[in-house]
Every structure is written in C-alpha cells, then in structure tokens.
Amino acid sequence: MSEPGMSQPSFCPDCGVPISGGSHCVRCAPPAVDEIATPAGSRVSTISNEKQAPANLRSALWLYFTLLGVIAAFTIAYQVVGDEVTPEWEVNAELAVSGLFAAVVLFAAFRFRRSVLPMFSRLGHPGWTIAAPFMAVGTVTLASLIVGLINSMFSLPDQSYSAPAVAAGYGIWLPLFTVAVCPAVTEEIAFRGVMNSALRNVLEPREAAIVTALLFAILHLSILSFPHLLVMGLVLGYIRHRSGSLYPCILLHFCHNASVVLLEHFHDGA
C-alpha cells in the first residue's frame, strides 16, 4: 500500500505547474530517446556533437584558405625574386601555381565526390550551355567598363596576362591554358562544386550562392576586379543552381577569361 504523499504527482516537480499524468509536465519531460552523446562542460553540448554540418563548413573554409595559401606563396616567391623576375620565371611560376591549384582542387573534389560527381554526371538544360558564351559577353563588357573607368580615374599600372608567355616565346596558347582553361575548370569545381555544396548544408541555396560568389571575388585579392567578379560569381551560382550542372559554369568562365586574354593580346599587339 502506497503512502499518501507518494501517489501520482499532481504538479510538475521542476516547474510546479499542474499535470494530469506522468511525472513531469510536457515542457520539462525528459526526451523519450537518448540519441545524442553529451560531453560535459559545454554550454550547448547537446547539439555540438552533430558533426555533419560544421565538418562541411570547415571543409569549405579549409579549401578556400588552402587556395589562398597557394596564392600567398606565389606572391612571396615573386617578391623574393624581385627585380630578377624573367618572362621564363613568370611562365614557370604560372604553371606551378596552376598545377598546385589543380592538385588541391582535385583532392577536395575526390574527398567530396558524392557532392561533386552528380554535377558532372548531368548536362543540365542545353539552353544554359548555349546561353553561357553570350552571358560571358556581358560579364566581359561589365569587367571592361569597370576596370576602364577605375584605370582612367587613377591611372593604375597595366597588368598583362599574355606578355610574359609571348616574351618567353610560347605564344598565346600558354596564357590561354593557364589563365582560361585551368582556372575555368579548377575554380568552378572548387567554388560552384565543393564550396557551394558544403555551404548548402548550413545555408539556404540562395545564401550559399551569394556567399560562394563573395568568396570567389575575395580570393582574387583585387579591389579593382571585385565588382565584376562578384557579378560573375552570382551569375555562375545562379546557373549552377538552375541547371544542376557544372558544364555551363565552366564554359562561361572559360569564355570570360579567354576573351580577356585575347582582347588584351590583340589590343596590345595592334
């Protein structure tokens, strides 16, 4: 026979509100299933063990900062050599950077192949592939207008993508490879492939596309190029979102970079 005070509780022992059944009220009731291991001492420890989302975000940041490290190392090497930089050295350095970039991105693509491969296995609507070169005309025009305007205001030093290779006797095909082909493939896999997919695990698709475009513009470390790179990144993000494929993005990126190299080459040669 139970004691008078030990019968079914009428009030919640944790908050004191009336209850009609059970040991606690609905708000204070313990979970039915103990599904999360909880390390002691963490203020928000019950959700910190869900590794999936933070790990993916960390992966995107890891890839970004590794690529930034490659650029920083190349810039330091450029400064160390200083006045002794020759066209041959510049060509070799460009090839080395392209190779390092490709190695890092391919490693990341292999590591996250489940996210990247579906974007290579589908072509998307052919309309996007047809529209990509025309969109590149728009991004190149925008880039020319912005860079031309800023150059006319501040008379910034000229930067040539093709001059070192041409001076070293390689012709225009080498800058087309190192400036147009390699970045189009590696940067699209890195940004629209790995980083965008990783960010979509913690952000809405629209936010992920904007953040990816911003990271793409920031990585180039050029205030002069920031506006048109941001617009280009947003366009590429939109195409990737709508088509679900990386091919139109790679084509647009290649057309943009190739146009810049060819326009610069033939403008200087004229």
Q: Binding residues for another protein, per CB under 8 A?
A: 3-7, 9-18, 23, 26-31, 36, 38-48, 50, 53-54, 57, 61, 64-65, 68-69, 72, 75-76, 79, 154, 156, 199, 202-204, 206-208, 210-211, 214-215, 218-219, 221, 223, 226
Distance CA 42, CA 30 (A): 19
Which residue carries 């470390």 as its tokens? Answer: 221
What is the separation of C-alpha 249 from the centre of its chain, rounded to a whole number of angstroms?
A: 13
Task: Please state, as a whole number, how many other Cβ atoms lie within 10 Å of the Cβ of residue 15.
Answer: 11
Residue 231 Cβ vs another protein, minimum distance, rounded to whole Å: 14
CB of 146 to another protein, least distance (A): 12
CA-CA distance, 75 to 97, in Å (whole number)?
10
Nearest-angstrom CA–CA distance, 114 and 41? 35
Distance CA 41, CA 238 (A): 43
Q: Return the number of the residue (38 or 141) whose C-beta is nearest another protein.
A: 38
Q: Give the residue with the Cβ less far from another protein, 48 or 141.
A: 48
Written as six digits, the tokens of 108 are: 């990341």
Q: Which is nearer to another protein, 140 or 211 (CB)?
A: 211
- Provide, rounded to whole angstroms, the least separation between the CB of residue 201 and another protein: 9
Contact 85, 78 (CB under 8 A): yes
The residues facing 18 across adjacent strands are 11
Based on CB atoms, which residue is closest to another protein, 17 or 137?
17
At its nearest, how many Å lie between another protein and the CB of residue 22?
Answer: 10
In the complex with another protein, the residue whose CB is nearer, 12 or 180, is 12
Min dist CB 64 to another protein, Å, is 6
Tokens 């004191």, residue located = 16
Of 135 and 190, which CB lies nearer to another protein in the complex structure?
190
Using CB atoms within 10 A of its CB, is residue 105 exposed (0-12), middle (13-18) or buried (19+)? Answer: buried
Tokens of 63: 């890839």
Choice between 17 and 117, CB closer to another protein: 17
Reduce the DSSP state of residue 115 to 3 states and report it: helix
CB of 40 to another protein, least distance (A): 4
Q: What's the min distance (Å) between Cβ of 178 and another protein?
A: 21
Q: CB-wise, 206 or 242, nearer to another protein?
A: 206
Provide the 10 A C-beta neighbour count for residue 233.
27
Whole-number minimum distance, CB 158 to another protein, in Å? 15
| CA-closest candidate to residue 11, choices 2, 26, 24, 27 | 24
Rounded distance between C-alpha atoms, residue 237 and residue 248, angstroms: 11
